[in-house]
C-alpha cells in the first residue's frame, strides 16, 4: 500500500474538477458551503477582502479554527500557508488537513524560495499568473494550480488575464518545434521537460482552477469557458447579501457553464454582490498577485 504518491496527490484535485472551493472563516460558514454544493472548503481566519481592508501581516490560521472547520464538514478541507513558510505547512500536514494552499493572499515568509513541496505527504495547490510561473510551482512539487487573479477585490479582470495567459501560452506551445521549445522554456524560466510535456499533451500536467475576484455566477462561467477546471471563491460569497443562495448559484453556473439559460436563471434575484474594487485604485504595494515568482 503506497500512500501520498504523485497519483493520489494529483488525483484528489482531479476529483474536485468542475466544482467550487469556497473560503470559510467559521464552522457555520463551512456547513453553508457544503450545503450549497462546494467540493471543498478553504479554512481561513479572514477572507482576502478583510485581509486587504485590515492590513498587517497575514499568517496561517489558528489550528483550532482549522480543526473546528474540518469537524463541521465531510468534504475536503484546505488551509493556507505563507509562501516559503515550510513550518506552517508542516503544522497543517500534522493536523491531517487534505490540501495546502501556498498562498500569495498571506504575507510571504520568504522572498526567494517557495516551499519544497516534494518533501511533504500532503498535496499543495499554488497560484500562478502565467505558464512559466505555474510550471515552476509544479517543478517544486505543486500537485494543483490556480490562476491568482487579484484576491479580495470582487473584480474578475485579473483572473481573466491570468487564465488567458496560461491557456494562450499552451496554445502557442502546441505549434512550436523542439528547437523553439528550448528557447521558449528558457524565456519563461520553466524546466524544459515540463514545457515539452505540455506541448505534447496540449494541456497542463495538473488540474488548474481559477481564483481571485470571482463574485457572480457569470464570472464563474466565464472562467470555465476560458478553460479552467474549476473555481475558487474567496470573499465573493460571504461578503455578499445572501451567501447561501449565491454559493449555490455559483456551483450551478460552474457545472452548466455552457448553458446560458441556466446561468441566467441562477443569476436572478441573488441580492447584493460584494462591493468590487478597481485594480488601478489599489496601491502597487498592496497587490497580492505579484507575490511569489
Partner 1 sequence: MTVGILALQGDFREHEDMLRRIGVPTLQVRLPRHLDRIDRLIIPGGESTTIGKLLAIYGLIEPLRARVRDGMPLWGTCAGAILMAQRVADGRADQPTLGVMDVTARRNAFGSQLDSFETDLQFAELGVEPLRTVFIRAPILEELGNGVMALAHLADGRIVAARQGRMLATCFHPELTLDERVHRYFLEL
Binding site for partner 1 (CB under 8 A): 1-5, 7-8, 11-12, 14-19, 34, 37-40, 74-76, 93, 96-99, 121-123, 251-252, 255-256, 259
Phi-psi category of residue 107: left, alpha or beta, with phi > 0 → left and psi -120 to 50 → alpha: beta
225 secondary structure, DSSP code: H
Q: How far apart are CA 211 and CA 259, in angstroms?
A: 22
Which grid coordinates belong to 125?
495547490
> Is residue 56 classed as helix, strand or coil in its secondary structure?
coil
Site of grid cell 515568482: 293
* 18, 255 contact by CB (below 8 A): yes
Q: How far apart are CA 49 and CA 102, in angstroms?
A: 18
If the CB atoms of residues 50 and 197 are measured against partner 1, the closer one turns out to be 197
Q: How far apart are CA 198 and CA 34, in angstroms?
A: 34
If the CB atoms of residues 17 and 186 are measured against partner 1, the closer one turns out to be 17
Q: Which residues contact 122 (CB under 8 A, 6 or more apart)?
A: 4, 89, 92, 93, 97, 98, 99, 100
Q: Catalytic: 3?
A: no
Dihedral sign, Cα of residue 125, residue 129, residue 131, residue 133: negative
If the CB atoms of residues 77 and 156 are measured against partner 1, the closer one turns out to be 77
If the CB atoms of residues 88 and 93 are measured against partner 1, the closer one turns out to be 93
If the CB atoms of residues 123 and 149 are measured against partner 1, the closer one turns out to be 123
Q: How far is the CB of 20 from partner 1 (least distance, A)?
A: 8
Q: How far is the CB of 32 from partner 1 (least distance, A)?
A: 13
- 9, 70, 80, 117: which is the annotated catalytic residue? 80
Number of Cβ within 10 Å of residue 185's Cβ equals: 21
If the CB atoms of residues 33 and 51 are measured against partner 1, the closer one turns out to be 33
Q: How far is the CB of 229 from partner 1 (least distance, A)?
A: 9
* 93, 120 contact by CB (below 8 A): yes
Q: How far is the CB of 75 from partner 1 (least distance, A)?
A: 6
Q: How far is the CB of 108 from partner 1 (least distance, A)?
A: 25
CA angle 100, 287, 277 (to 5 degrees): 105
Residue 119: φ, ψ to 5°: -75, -5
Q: How far is the CB of 76 from partner 1 (least distance, A)?
A: 7
Q: How far apart are CA 244 and CA 267, in angstroms?
A: 13
**Residue numbers annotated as active site:** 80
Amino acid at each position: 500500500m503506497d500512500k501520498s504518491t504523485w497519483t493520489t496527490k494529483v488525483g484528489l484535485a482531479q476529483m474536485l474538477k468542475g466544482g467550487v472551493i469556497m473560503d470559510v472563516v467559521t464552522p457555520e460558514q463551512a456547513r453553508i458551503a457544503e450545503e450549497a454544493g462546494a467540493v471543498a472548503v478553504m479554512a481561513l481566519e479572514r477572507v482576502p477582502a478583510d485581509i486587504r481592508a485590515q492590513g498587517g501581516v497575514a499568517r496561517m490560521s489558528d489550528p483550532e479554527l482549522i480543526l473546528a472547520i474540518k469537524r463541521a464538514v465531510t468534504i475536503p478541507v484546505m488551509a493556507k500557508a505563507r509562501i516559503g513558510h515550510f513550518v506552517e505547512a508542516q503544522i497543517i500536514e500534522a493536523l491531517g488537513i487534505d490540501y495546502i494552499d501556498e498562498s500569495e493572499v498571506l504575507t510571504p515568509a520568504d522572498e526567494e524560495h517557495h516551499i519544497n513541496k516534494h518533501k511533504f505527504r500532503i498535496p499543495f495547490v499554488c497560484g500562478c499568473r502565467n505558464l512559466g510561473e505555474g510550471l515552476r510551482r509544479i517543478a517544486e512539487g505543486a500537485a494543483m494550480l490556480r490562476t491568482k487573479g487579484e484576491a479580495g477585490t470582487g473584480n474578475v479582470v485579473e483572473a481573466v488575464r491570468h487564465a488567458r495567459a496560461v491557456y494562450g501560452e499552451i496554445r502557442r506551445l502546441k505549434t512550436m518545434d523542439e528547437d523553439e521549445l528550448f528557447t521558449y522554456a528558457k524565456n519563461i524560466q520553466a524546466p524544459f521537460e515540463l514545457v515539452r510535456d505540455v506541448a505534447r499533451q496540449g494541456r497542463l500536467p495538473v488540474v488548474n482552477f481559477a481564483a481571485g475576484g470571482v463574485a457572480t455566477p457569470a464570472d464563474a462561467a466565464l472562467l470555465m469557458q476560458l478553460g479552467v477546471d474549476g473555481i475558487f471563491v474567496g470573499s465573493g460569497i460571504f461578503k455578499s447579501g445572501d451567501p447561501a443562495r449565491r454559493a449555490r448559484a455559483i456551483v450551478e453556473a460552474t457545472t452548466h457553464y455552457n448553458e446560458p439559460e441556466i446561468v441566467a436563471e441562477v443569476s436572478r434575484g441573488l441580492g447584493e454582490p460584494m462591493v468590487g474594487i478597481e485594480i488601478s485604485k489599489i496601491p502597487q504595494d498592496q497587490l497580492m498577485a505579484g507575490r511569489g515568482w
